Amino acid sequence: MDSRPIDIENKLRGYLFGSACADALGRPVEHLSLEQIKEKYGDRGILELSPNSPWTDDTQLMLVLSRGLLRGAELELSELMDKIAEELVLWLDEPDLGAGATSKGAALRLKAGTDRGESGIESKTCGSLMRVGILGFIYRNDSERLVRAASFSGKMTHSHPTADAASIAGAYAVKLALDGVEPVDMFGSLLQVTEGISEEFTEALNCSYELAYGGLDDEGALRKIGQGWYADETFAMAYFCMLRYPDDYKKAVQTAVNITGDSDSVASVAGGILGALLGIDAVPIVWVEALKWKGELEAMVGPLLGKYLEVSSGGSGIPGP
């Protein structure tokens, strides 16, 4: 159990605001090519958040998952998954912030009565990856439960093995970041925890690592990895940005959004993990202040911290769903 609630609160804020600010920065350019981004924002691309910037479904769905965890993170996994499924159905009544067809389709299946074990769609898009980082916080001190919760909750919407591997990696990377593990030292653990799930994901992760220490510039390397619409590419591109700028949250996020592809998702994954590693002080205060719904994030800090401490001191068994 972590005995430093002040430190862990700083890192929780780093994760929440780090992912949300990155998501909001990428929102205006998500469907633009890099060339179009430069034409609109200049040669360096988009660099700063505008006042009153909204986030996308990436942060929205992270908060949906968070509400499920607040209702039952300490319960057996089968009961927790029921709570998360209920929250996904409730999410259908929230404003549409750009939700992907897979997440929405799976939630509609749940609403229609499909069992949560059968509701997932065989898609390898990144909708499950982008929301799972909060699991790495809540289950930081229970790696087995973390991996299983990331897998089961991810498959509720995205059942493809590539999406499953990426979801596990996304949640586990936040746990490693909270533990103070530098991005370069995460590589072996991420390979191990996703071993045998998806060859496609393993190849993307290896590619990301090699390119980060190769001779290509950021733009060239990121183009080589992909566009980030699929979960293996999303995580690999985010990891590349973290490897290139492990001590510079702002530069890593700016690199992540200025791509041809899923700018907000790549950035939110990178921003959340680096925010968890470096803490809230690494996230520009002007970005935090620019968030349209920052009060909603702030209101989650206390309850999530309390749930983390409750779970960390629990130690109950972990029957599967």
Could you report the per-residue pLDDT of 265-288, keeping only the tens digit for each? 999 999 999 999 999 999 999 999
Structure tokens at 107: 């939630």
Name all domains of the chain by residue range, CATH numbers in brackets: 5-311 (1.10.4080.10)
For 129-149, b/e burial (b = at least 16 CB within 10 A) is bbbbbbbbbbbbbbeebbbbb
- Report the alpha-carbon distance of residue 218 to residue 239 in Å, rounded: 12
Could you report the per-residue pLDDT of 289-302, keeping only the tens digit for each? 999 999 999 999 99
Residue 158's SS3 state is: strand
Angle, CA of 21, 8 and 285, to the nearest 5°? 30
β-partners of residue 291 are: 53
The answer to whether 257 and 22 have CB atoms below 8 angstroms apart is yes
Q: Which residues contact 144 (CB under 8 A, 6 or more apart)?
A: 318
Could you report the per-residue pLDDT of 12-71, keeping only the tens digit for each? 999 999 999 999 999 999 999 999 999 999 999 999 999 999 999 999 999 999 999 999
Q: pLDDT value at position 315?
A: 46
Q: Residues for the chain: how many in total?
A: 321
What type of residue sits at position 144?
Answer: E
pTM of the model as a whole: 0.95
Burial of 251 (0-12, 13-18, 19+ CB in 10 A): middle
Angle, CA of 15, 108 and 271, to the nearest 5°? 15
Mean pLDDT over 180-192 rounds to: 98
What type of residue sits at position 186?
Answer: M
